[in-house]
Amino acid sequence: MAQVTRARGGGWYLLGPAFVAAIAYVDPGNVAANISAGAQFGFLLVWVIVIANVMAGLVQYLSAKLGLVTGRTLPEAVRDHTRTPSRIGYWIQAELVAIATDLAEVVGGAIALCLLFGLPLLLGGVITGAVSLVLLAVQDRRGQQMFERVITGLLLVIAVGFLASLFVKPPPAADVLAGLVPRFDGPESVLLATAMLGATVMPHAVYLHSGLARDRHGHPEAGAARARLLRITRWDVAIAMLVAGAVNMAMLLIAATNLQGRNDTDSIQGAHAAVRDALGPTVALLFAIGLLASGLASTSVGAYAGAMIMQGLLHKTFPLLLRRLVTLIPALVVLAVGLDPSRALVISQVVLSFGIPFALVPLVRLTSNPALMGADTNNRLTTLLGWTVAAVITLLNVALIYLTVAG
């Protein structure tokens, strides 16, 4: 009740949960996918970022609405409506998605530490994982609002790091507008589009936002207080997605403007070197700092989401260190055996894209259920848009399999 009463104060105070979820949309996997897309295909896939960001806004609002209206996280709601065998299988795929998420975030943080301080990738991965534990401890001891402030601060660092280059060398407006026309150019462009989609509409963020909104605002009864919270949540999601979308667009435009046609831009390290050559050491430093902030913030948010998914689906709580090691070890193995880290980042985003329907289908079904949502059930247009998002992503994944096998 105290949380609902507090909601009658200033609306800006209630913003925050969506900014934590938005970190998932600007993680190192986004950097790898967007930089690769811009370097290889120029402005061709600008439209993917725009559509993905619109999709993400709808999905994140539905997730937050589920948490506020039902008082249940999405994993808890799935558990309530799923039999035990199916629930275990569902959890296994969600755990694989969490591993792919951590792979992108830890590897990205390791690359950033290598660029900034020359640290070996494996050591950088260990440090990234350790810092994520510290940030999670902030959430555990100081509460969600302090965690939101820390993560939002890191989001601003990320934004500055990647938007700076656009002021140094703006992209041609005509080329950017031409990139808004949906089209592909061969199987590799489909692979990158799928990776960009997986890096934007991220499954763990879909699960997480329902818990963030519920834990921050409580479970208000139907009426004016809930209606106001839902209205503020829409603003929260819109502003957070606007920031995340601008950062993602900046990543692609940096590569399309400065890296297309250059050699050795198929890796983040190569892209960093090309940015330094084209725009100078200051912009390259900001690029690396933005990447580091992205890795540190996103791995913390990803671990937070993983714990929420496990607890919600299995109704069990595991020690934070054990839960962290489960998803951290595969990322450290990738770094230890010397696999191409940038390619591993892109592939991890494709894995995430395959996990999206498992999050979206139950989300749309649950938020369209009048018995569960009451007066806040999705209207027909929202339900149609939700199913369209799930169908588009699924069809893109099928096309990716076909083109990869056929190629």
Give the residue ranges of the chain where pLDDT is below 70. 1-13, 198-199, 320, 349, 400-401, 403-407
First to last CA, the chain: 59
Distance CA 276, CA 391 (A): 41
Residue type, 22: A
Distance CA 239, CA 243 (A): 6
If one counts every other C-beta atom within 10 angstroms of the C-beta of residue 128, the result is 30
What H or E segment, with its residue span, contains residue 113? helix 84-117
Report the pLDDT value the prediction gives residue 69, as an integer from 0 to 100.
96
Q: Can you read off the two tokens belonging to residue 282? A: 């200051």
CA-based torsion, 233, 217, 361, 296: positive or negative: positive
| DSSP per-residue string spanning 219-269 | -PPTTHHHHHHHHHHHHHHHHHHHHHHHHHHHHHHHHHHHTTT-SS-SSHH
* Strand ranges, E, within 301-400: none
Distance CA 121, CA 125 (A): 6
* Strand ranges, E, within 109-175: none
CA 309 to mean position of chain CA atoms: 15
Task: Find out whether 136 and 387 touch, Cβ atoms under 8 Å.
Answer: no
Report the pLDDT value the prediction gives residue 116, as an integer from 0 to 100.
95
Task: Find out whether 95 and 332 touch, Cβ atoms under 8 Å.
Answer: no
Distance CA 182, CA 343 (A): 25
Distance CA 247, CA 79 (A): 35
Q: What is the pLDDT of residues 107-136, one digit of tens each?
A: 999 999 999 999 999 999 999 999 988 888
CA 345 to mean position of chain CA atoms: 13
Q: For the CA atoms of 288, 291, 292, 293, what is the dihedral angle to 10 degrees?
A: 120
- Those residues with Cβ within 8 angstroms of residue 295's Cβ, 6 or more apart along the chain or in another chain: 27, 28, 105, 106, 108, 109, 110, 111, 112, 128
pTM: 0.89
Q: For residue 73, what is the DSSP state?
A: -
Percent of the chain's residues with pLDDT above 90? 46
Task: Find out whether 330 and 106 touch, Cβ atoms under 8 Å.
Answer: no
Q: What is the pLDDT of residues 137-162, one digit of tens each?
A: 887 787 778 888 899 999 999 999 99
Report the pLDDT value the prediction gives residue 310, as an integer from 0 to 100.
87
* Strand ranges, E, within 73-224: none
